[in-house]
Structure 1
Amino acid sequence: MPAPRFVPPPSQSVLPVSALIPTQRQAPPPELAARPAPPASRPAAPARRRTIVALLIALGTSAGLLVGLIVGSVASAPPKQADANAATAIPAGGGRYRVGPDLTPGIYQTSGENGSSATGCYYARLKTGDGSLGDIIDNYVAQGPMTVTVGQSDGYFETTGCSPWTKIG
């Protein structure tokens, strides 16, 4: 049996193979081929570009040094010293106490609520005491005994509805 032969459908025409293969480029004429190619040279960077790069490097270095100076001065600030008259116990009820002058940093404990608040015993460690949500370092509400560590870096300690707080460490 002979091999089947491809017959295109009547709507398609068969193109010669030469129409499908692109022709190759021809060599340039001899008068153009004899001309030497221009030397490949790299133009020098303009002085303005170099100046801008140098300024950006200097600006980045200055900004980095400034940030390091600020962070270093904040991190090396001396710790707050507790005032000789600062409390080591907080009476029942509550209030806001400035850490250092009013309250000695340390670990405090309470037996829980004192019955003056429907929500229970509440405390908050604050950065600046400005009343914003971002000012809160830590806070908690409980019905029973609680322990909290008031740090030297805390700005204020606030409490409401609690039995007396006693410093235990």
Structure 2
Amino acid sequence: MADIFDEFSKNVSKTLRTVQAKSQTIVESVKIKKEISDFESKLNLLFSELGRMFYISSKKNGLSKERMEDFKGKCLEISKLEDKVSELKKELENLELKEKEKIYGKVAIGKCPDCGGIIYKGDKFCGSCGAPVNIEVPQKSIDKIICPNCGKEIPADSKFCPECGFPLESKNK
């Protein structure tokens, strides 16, 4: 009878971890997607302005040096916004990897290039499609800090040093 309650308790705990991880991911991903949408709207306006500027310039028989500088400025703005969108999309992908880590307790290192399934540290084949995992699977970068107690390099989001157990929570916030 105790085995049944232990199994039930484990299932409830896993379900709660899953719900908590997924709800956190949903909230954070909605914020990131809103930022992406805002930047993409700004990009569309800039592209429209660029097109309008080009049309007006070509209608007036040519591009002056001043107008070329205006074009360069708009192109630079576009480039910066595209970089921000790219960073946010990577952040969104890393959010999904973190969610899977919380749910399954395994280190997620990237996505399968064939199907987009999550690849975990130590996997030799994709758990979703069976494709062999090779070195080309992108690995997420982890910010590192130095433990003030033992001097080892550890993940920046650690609450305790995994090497010596030193509490770090108050140091990272």
If the TM-score is normalised by the length of the shorter chain, which range does it land in? Answer: under 0.3
What TM-score, normalized by structure 1, do the two folds share?
0.27
TM-score for the superposition, normalised by structure 2 = 0.26
**Relative CO higher for 1 or 2, CA cutoff 8 Å, sep ≥ 6?**
1
